[in-house]
Amino acid sequence: MSEKRATADAAIAEIAARQHGVITATQLAGAGIEADGASYRARVGRLHRVHRGVYAVGHRALGSKGRWLAGVLACGEGAVLSHLSAAGLWEMLAPVIAPVHVTIPTDSGRRRRPGIRLHRSPHLPNGATTHHHGIAVTTPERTISDLRRTLPASEVRQAVREAEARRLDLGPDHQSDRTNSELEYLFLRLCRRHRLPEPEVNVRVDRFLVDFLWRESRLIVETDGWRYHHGSQAREEDNARDTRLQRLGFMVLRFGYVPVTRDPAGVAATVRGFIGG
């Protein structure tokens, strides 16, 4: 009996190792563990219930991928990680462990489960799902589409930028604005709303990557967010950078969040003074 139990435990460990530390009741049965065997292992601390029919193996301290996969497995066949949880798995946004967002391909059945935010999509196409790190998940393109319906636009843009940086496929219709921050996006929108000539965005000049460039006018605009441009060291680096660019014949203007958001007309007028149009 002990040899049989050891063989079963080895099978459980092998499955859990492939599944970020979790296993289903169906998989336990396939390994020869019936309900009483699962109950025994739960009592002695070898299994820990995460959701109905899904267990953590050996300990409760699952990582984010284990929590996400447990949520998907708990929701049955066809379930996929989606929305904020999918964005965390694709590393578009910081991971949010709970609740686990799961989409199921039906509009009926399945009661709510604690710790799971269930989304129903009866027409979820196969092309909108894939596997990543062994977890069924919506594709990056579908994930962004879901986020657009549930998050503020600024957070969606943040997710898109991370997806672009990681070279994730956002679909054939996706067009990048090449901005790397929310402030850059707001400045580019300002240019378009005030009908300024379209600048080049995040292009290299000499050894520097500049935010915005009007090449013919020899004008560079840098948008100074607080995260990267506060403190004496950052100011010294910005000054040295500007000095070199000016020696190369470029005018460098810098705008922070306050003027871009509170005085867009004034910013546009300043830029227009250097480029005309």
Give 205-233 pLDDT, tens digit per residue.
999 999 999 999 999 999 986 555 455 67
Q: Give the mean model confidence (pLDDT) for residues 183-207.
A: 97
Q: Give the mean model confidence (pLDDT) for residues 238-262.
A: 96
> For residue 75, how many other CB atoms are within 10 A of its CB?
22
Q: Give the mean model confidence (pLDDT) for residues 142-161.
A: 96
- The torsion defined by the Cα of 15, 18, 21 and 27, in degrees rounded to 10, comes to -30
Token digits of residue 62: 């699952």
What pLDDT sits at residue 232? 65
What pLDDT sits at residue 1? 47
CB neighbour list of residue 101: distance below 8 Å, 6 or more residues apart: 71, 81, 82, 83, 84, 85, 86, 116, 117, 119
Strand 251-256 relative to strand 219-224: parallel, antiparallel, unpaired?
parallel
Radius of gyration of the chain (CA): 26
pTM of the model: 0.86
What pLDDT sits at residue 230? 55
Report whether pLDDT(241) > 50: yes
Token pair 């994930």 is found at 143
Report whether pLDDT(242) > 90: yes
